[in-house]
Amino acid sequence: MAKVSFIGMGVMGYPMAGHLKVKGGHDVTVYNRTVAKAEAWARQFEGKFAPTPAEAAEGADFVFTCVGNDDDLRSVTTGENGVISTMKAGSVLIDNTTASAEVARELYAAAKEKGVDFIDAPVSGGQAGAENGVLTVMCGGDEAVFEKARPVIGAYARMVGLMGPVGAGQLTKMINQICIAGIVQGLAEGIHFGKQAGLDIEKVVEVISKGAAGSWQMENRHKTMTSGKYDFGFAVDWMRKDLGIVLEEARRNKAKLPLTALVDQFYGDVQTMGGNRWDTSSLLARLDRN
């Protein structure tokens, strides 16, 4: 059993911290900006909560962060009352936020100055994956540190991989989002085309999902998309945040991402329609609106 702290009790962090407590058997202390969520977690999982990130991290062997964006991450790590200020030498900071590779490298350097190790470890699998403890975790960092952290991360994951040095986890998550954007747009166009052609979408998907067109998105989202229900997963606002990170990195490394840039604009249209909190499959709503 390790002493663990978890910073960020959002739809992902709340169940992930729960798995660290229940499945991992660790001594877990949590922090959340909205104290009520941290209190609720502590009641549900018979754990502890702290009033600041620094206090949550004090004496911990592993500190996890899962917050909104780069600025949020800096605030809870290197800002006033950030976790790095109280983390002990030899402990490991594991960041599950989907953030930039640049901030991952910043935190690696800041942690090293305190004798603390760092891994960037963004996740894929959405809220359902977090709740069921079957997330995919893409890590960047030193191999020895990764091997030390992997068994702990495994409490909420079905796949944990070291992708390279610090920042490689975030870069891999960017690829994940690039691929999802293209797949969802293709699925939305396919369903829209089928509806316009008067086909039975359920019958169409039953056949084509068994061939080369099949995907997780098709299997898990075609029914809700066809029925115009878009409250089943990762929100458009968060996808646009992630694609913004992707496109900024592409400008830096000169990658050509015409489809990703186009789909990002389409998600902007969905936001204009009021779909900020709809899930990412709502690209179909944009096509069906007229």
In the DSSP assignment, the letter for residue 154 is G
In the DSSP assignment, the letter for residue 270 is H
Residue type, 83: V
Report the C-alpha gap between 122 and 183 in whole angstroms.
Answer: 20
For residues 253, 179, 271 and 261, what is the CA-based torsion angle, rounded to 10 degrees?
40
Q: Are 131 and 44 in contact (CB under 8 A)?
A: no
- 173 catalytic? Reply is yes
Which listed residue (3, 37, 112, 173) is catalytic? Answer: 173
Chain center to CA of 83: 20
Q: What angle (nearest 5°) sits at the alpha carbon of residue 12, between those of residues 270 and 215?
A: 60
Q: Are 26 and 4 in contact (CB under 8 A)?
A: yes
Q: Are 192 and 288 in contact (CB under 8 A)?
A: yes
Nearest-10 crossing angle of helices 201-208, 216-226: 180
Active site amino acids: 173
